[in-house]
Structure 1
């Protein structure tokens, strides 16, 4: 039985306006892809599978991996600065609970505000939390993608399959060509 209900947007500050999306590259060929994983089980494995697919199917050249130490806290300033300096695009995830979904959306918006295209991946059970954070940040309707819940108990084959299924939306969100085709 639950003893308390936790608000995943608690502590977030209301943004003064909508975050403008960073300009998208036409494609991912030769690009450096950042992966910002949280501490949820299988988040890093899911993002690694996405990176493998982006390299083999879309020509991504390099990967920068970073891991947040807390699912609920915003991306640390130094980690954000590293991703902004080193990456052409960033994949954030995996939001597989209410708090981490809200935090992932906040991280995606922080990357966008810093000029780096980002795609946030959340499991479909937590769209309410993700949408609430987008509204709180002044960006209602922020485009993130969903994968079926849950991600945590998947085996290696299940992770690869989920990444493969999410790939078209990931590419579509990160690129101008993909966005036009989507």
Structure 2
């Protein structure tokens, strides 16, 4: 989360990707960085023990959400 926010502040579009197990921590980090409403992609937890197929599904979800977030930010902004 911190890296994505830092990149955005330096003018580089970025998307944070968190698993469902870390959403609360990501929201806390966003608030600590001064961006309480920062939106990020959320994929299923866990990743470490996921099968190859589950990882593919999570990757597709992350990319799909990431594109939506990047495009929404550009259209809203």
Normalising by structure 2, what TM-score?
0.84
Residue 46 (structure 2) aligns with: 150
SS of match in other structure, 1:138: coil
1:121 aligns with 2:20: no
SS of match in other structure, 2:16: strand
The Cα shift of 1:179 comes to 6.5
Distance 1:179 1:115 in 2: 12
Runs of 4+ in 1 over 3 A off after TM superposition: none
Q: 1:165 aligns with which of 49, 61, 64?
A: 61
Distance 2:36 2:5 in 1: 11
CA contact (8 A) 1:121 1:146 kept: yes
Which has more strand, going by share of residues? 1
Q: Kindly tell me the number of residue pairs found equivalent between the two proteins.
A: 75
User: Alpha carbons of 1:154 and 1:141: their partners in 2 closer, same or farther (altered >3 Å)?
Assistant: same
CA contact (8 A) 1:172 1:179 kept: no
Which has more helix, going by share of residues? 2
Normalising by structure 1, what TM-score?
0.38
